Structure 1
Amino acid sequence: MGSGARITAVLGPTNTGKTHYAIERMLAHRTGVIGLPLRLLAREVYDRIVAARGPSVAALVTGEERIVGARAQYWVCTVEAMPTDIGADFLAVDEIQLCADPERGHVFTDRLLNARGLLETLFLGSDTMRGAIAALVPGVQFLKRERFSTLSHTGSKKLSRMPPRSAVVGFSVENVYAIAELIRRQKGGAAVVMGALSPRTRNAQVAMYQAGEVDYLVATDAIGMGLNLDIGHVAFSATAKFDGWRMRPLFPHELAQIAGRAGRHMAPGTFGVTGEAAALAPEVIDAIETHRFAPVRRLNWRAADLDFGSADRLIGSLEASPANEWLQRGREADDLRALKALAELAAVRDLLGHPRDLRLLWDVCRIPD
């Protein structure tokens, strides 16, 4: 990394223009890579780069789509799919507070520690990451952003009383479809946005809502990750979710990430609950309105230095413990579980004659879904 290479952490609440700033910085360089937490968000950023510079210089790489222009200079990716070896002048990672996420945190932490642009690196996210980034990234500079508009709590509202341009958030596919059905019966149309839909369907639903063809959006917490939607009010139909292991209440910072989608740019936003959801506690409401949350104390980490000598050695290297007090081993990820299961099969073991075979097996294990 050259001495002229800048590393900046751009931290602040939702709706502060952080992603917009990153796109502007990327386009000021000859080449760039940006890693985003969601396929839907990667798609939105890719569309903006195509609009600014044309499709031939843009690339979109996610777990489910790969569109690479003939002269690709700007790579827009999910964080898992970022190419880290193309030597781009600029590199950015969005929603860097996901380093603390139990499922995907180790990937974000790896990017925080190891991924750099040759000239400029940006990490975007919540102010809760300031201490961790300061401790782990030498030479980092901080840029604080303030929210453009106010966010205020308006209590509980029935679905039949939802104001136009509202998003109702559910945490299961069944729940989302049931709410959408209710809104369609009482109010007319609703768009549905969730990770389980195909890219084409998702994009079409977002477009339908954005164009004002329907006034209501029903979504999973996927919309918390920076989709630039024109939303005035966010209503939680539940405040707990199944996180892959158990039902758990959402943390205040997770509620804030979703509530913060209300009020685009200068327009004020409101949030509250609906349906069966319990009222939010006063201290949670206060934290969301003032954007003050407990700092992140531990980042989930997994070794990046892997041993391809044998399947057992590879698994051992993936299970190494971190040497830094800021880092902890997260829960066992799907890719490691898949590797363990496949390495048990005699038919697979017989194919592992060479380290490159093991590398291929590991690459296969890392394919999402």
Structure 2
Amino acid sequence: MHLFSTQLVLRCPTGARHRAFLSCSYILRNNVHNRSHKRTKVSSRVAKQLKLTQTHKKPVSLAGVIKPSVLPSQSPNTSTDDTVALDFAGPLSKADILAVLNQFFRQPEVKSLAMQQGMEHSLFLQAFSEFRKYCATISPLPSELHIKLSDIINGYGTATDLFPFFLQHAKVMYPHLDYVKDLRHASNLTSPAQLFPLARAKQRKIIIHAGPTNSGKTYHAFQRYLASKSGIYCGPLKMLAVELAQKSNDVGIACDLVTGEERNFADPEGLMPAAHISCTVEMTDIERPIEVAIIDEIQMLRDKQRGWAWLRAFLGVNADEVHLCGEEAVIDLIKNIALDTGDTVEVKRYKRLTPIEYMNEPLGSIENVQDGDCIVCFNKSSIYQLCRELEKMGRQCAVIYGGLPPGTKLAQASRFNDPDDPCKVLIATDAIGMGINLNIRRVIFYSLLKIEESRGSKINTVISPSQALQIAGRCGRYGTTHKDKGYVTTFHGKDLELMHDLLNKQINPIDKAGIHPTADMIELYGYYLPHASLSDIIDIFLSLMTIDGDKYFLCQIDQFKQIAEIIEHIEMPLRTRYVFCCAPIPLQSAFVTTMLLKYARQFSAGQPITGKWLAEQIGWPLPKPITLNELTHLEAVHDSMDLYNWLSYRFEDQFPDKVEVKDMQMAIDKAILEGVCEITKLVVISENNSDKDDMRVEKLKTLPSNISRILEKLSEKLPNET
């Protein structure tokens, strides 16, 4: 390839050398990609489409979706009534009619009445333009309109009196105005508690277990769960759901596990459902009668992305007792919402079981790391750097970050917790904030800044006091090796004052809970707006939606809309499309997004998405990763299999091979674990490859001058053209 590219440049005319050089540069750069890029080609069209959808387009309005009906340009048949009106009121001049219409347009009351009828500003402008044209050109006018205009012109009425005629004309243009009332009713979220009739049919008892991390609040709720005839645990993470199911089964209380990607039944045959369930909060069964329900980390009601799931579980779970575990900041909001549900509320407060000290000295240097330390970073590059430095010191470390599969996280946690394992230091992101019990003596914040997505761009923001306390609370936990006392500090001295401010700051009360449109609501909109895309339907829903702003806020649905736009060209029923758009995928991963698109295409074509088909798409079997890029690619493949499992429990016929895919996923989990255990080697290899790439690029920069000299020598040997 290199030789061919060079020959191509040599044979080019002088004026085209630069363009050929750029082409040659592109080929050479692509040849230094690692093995994972050779194995996997991410669709450039999907990547481009993903980039486009991440830029926030202007929300679509009803006027942008509903096309006006074509109105007759000819005068309607003249009736006797119209002739009588002309004789009774006399002829009207066009100038007088237009003057009245201009007054009508300027009235604030008219615009307010139009908005109440579902005519937003742009639609109102279109409707008025056509009404004005109609009144000025049609002759004779309908009798009632003619008489009303005459009265207004002669001072016996106001321009606002024309509104019924304007509305009648607008409904001829826009027939949907007749059912705007139905759409508004469908998007009325002012009383979300009434969306759950089974829960409202009983008098529930709400018990709030409020306290900081490591205060025993979930433990006490769990004891009531074990003593009940039937129960459901709703947790924020799959790992927590797995842990609670295992604890329940270990003490002889049969418990089924239900997550978005997995179903494990206590009954080996899977025929008899257990009386107790442990699930992720999104999978809460709101129809099944339950004696005791636990909703863990209830303060997540305020989460901008997932808050709706906690609100749905709280409002909808069909339980006699509902135990809510979380921060004290949520108490007032729960009491406020309970006024709508009619439930009784009891509050139990807890204190931390072990002391914790916020240190006045930073770590200062990696050489000061001690056994039992956990350094918390908020980006992978810092994790790689610290692992490399610890390796140089001869210290082994465990690594935990959000992109790792649950099995790998648990294996790394087990290494760190094992007193006989030489791994005594943990490098992690805020993924340790929930769900993993760790023998941490001291938490060290490497930074207090976290990258957040904001309107399609990434910005560094200081973590919230709640996040800081959640992470700091992982040290010195009751029941661990370092239960006597925990310590918290920063790596850099410049962050120490900010850390103290965050950890000592009073957490503001949570005053609003997240809410989200349901599939039934969106399907009703689709019935009334059959030609609108799902993304447009969401925009229209938002424009007509009403919520109680004192208690609720609308969760961010940017990812939902981005997926809707990516699969918009694929034919599928609206409810099916809604399910695909709810898929919990890392949208920043082009590979996973491409796999979602491929799943959707196969589904639309009526083709089963088999394990064999999936193996062909991912290039199975996949080798052990030897660079960081290959490790990241394996994580993306694992996520795409999570997506397969998630879809398989919603469309079992089209995704029939979840057992086979699960086996493949376990093999990938093992390969990822091996890669993480040797992460320092991967860092070194990746750095060496990067250095080689830089050297090749530097050589590439000298190509134009070399080629020029070669061309000059060749031209001297060639005969002159005559």
One-letter amino acid matched to 1:256:
L
Residue 13 (structure 1) shift: 0.7
One-letter amino acid matched to 1:368:
P
Return the structure number with greater relative CO, CA threshold 8 A, min gap 6. Answer: 1
- Paired with 1:19 and 1:277, the residues of 2 have a C-alpha distance of 36
Match of 2:387 in 1: 180
* Pair 1:152-2:357 in alignment: yes
One-letter amino acid matched to 2:523:
F
Residue of 148, 171, 194 corresponding to 2:401: 194
Q: Is the 8 A contact 2:523 2:575 kept in 1?
A: yes
Q: Is the 8 A contact 2:511 2:550 kept in 1?
A: no
Identity of aligned residues (%): 24
Structure 1, unaligned runs of 5 or more: 353-357
TM-score (norm 2): 0.46
- Paired with 1:277 and 1:34, the residues of 2 have a C-alpha distance of 42
Residue of 463, 469, 491 corresponding to 1:256: 469
Offset from partner CA, 1:276-304 (integer Å, 9 cap, x none):
872242432433xxxx4221233222234
Residue of 292, 301, 307 corresponding to 1:99: 301
Offset from partner CA, 1:324-349 (integer Å, 9 cap, x none):
4121123225234323543x32x32x
Match of 1:355 in 2: none
Q: Is the 8 A contact 1:159 1:275 kept in 2?
A: no
- Paired with 2:417 and 2:542, the residues of 1 have a C-alpha distance of 43
Residue 125 (structure 1) shift: 0.5
Q: Which has the larger radius of gyration?
A: 2
The answer to which of 147-156 and 60-69 deviates more is 60-69
Match of 1:203 in 2: 410
Residue 315 (structure 1) shift: 6.2
TM-score (norm 1): 0.87
What SS class does the counterpart of residue 206 from structure 2 fall into?
Answer: strand
What SS class does the counterpart of residue 209 from structure 1 fall into?
Answer: helix
Residue 226 (structure 1) shift: 4.5
- Paired with 2:507 and 2:435, the residues of 1 have a C-alpha distance of 18
One-letter amino acid matched to 1:279:
L
1:73–1:334: structure 2 CA closer, same or farther, 3 Å change rule?
A: farther
Question: Which structure has more strand as a fraction of its residues?
Answer: 1
Size of the alignment, in residue pairs? 353
1:4–1:329: structure 2 CA closer, same or farther, 3 Å change rule?
A: closer
Q: Is the 8 A contact 2:356 2:487 kept in 1?
A: yes
One-letter amino acid matched to 1:252:
P
Match of 1:9 in 2: 208
Q: Let me know the Cα RMSD of the aligned residues.
A: 2.4
Q: Is the 8 A contact 2:222 2:294 kept in 1?
A: no
- Paired with 1:276 and 1:334, the residues of 2 have a C-alpha distance of 38
Q: How does 1:170-319 map to 2 (within 5 A)?
A: 170-186=377-393, 188-212=395-419, 213=421, 214-245=423-454, 246-265=459-478, 266-275=483-492, 278-281=495-498, 282-287=500-505, 292-304=506-518, 306-309=521-524, 310=526, 311=534, 316-317=540-541
Q: Is the 8 A contact 2:413 2:436 kept in 1?
A: no
- Paired with 1:175 and 1:63, the residues of 2 have a C-alpha distance of 31
Question: Which structure has more helix as a fraction of its residues?
Answer: 2
- Paired with 2:551 and 2:511, the residues of 1 have a C-alpha distance of 7
Match of 1:328 in 2: 553
Residue 314 (structure 1) shift: 6.4
Residue of 560, 580, 583 corresponding to 1:364: 580
- Paired with 2:411 and 2:386, the residues of 1 have a C-alpha distance of 19
Q: Is the 8 A contact 1:63 1:367 kept in 2?
A: no
Structure 2, unaligned runs of 5 or more: 1-198, 268-272, 527-533, 586-722
Q: Is the 8 A contact 1:315 1:336 kept in 2?
A: no
What SS class does the counterpart of residue 241 from structure 1 fall into?
Answer: strand
The answer to which of 143-152 and 301-310 deviates more is 301-310
- Paired with 1:316 and 1:66, the residues of 2 have a C-alpha distance of 36
- Paired with 1:187 and 1:25, the residues of 2 have a C-alpha distance of 47
- Paired with 2:489 and 2:466, the residues of 1 have a C-alpha distance of 15
1:230–1:366: structure 2 CA closer, same or farther, 3 Å change rule?
A: same
* Runs of at least 4 residues off by over 6 Å: none
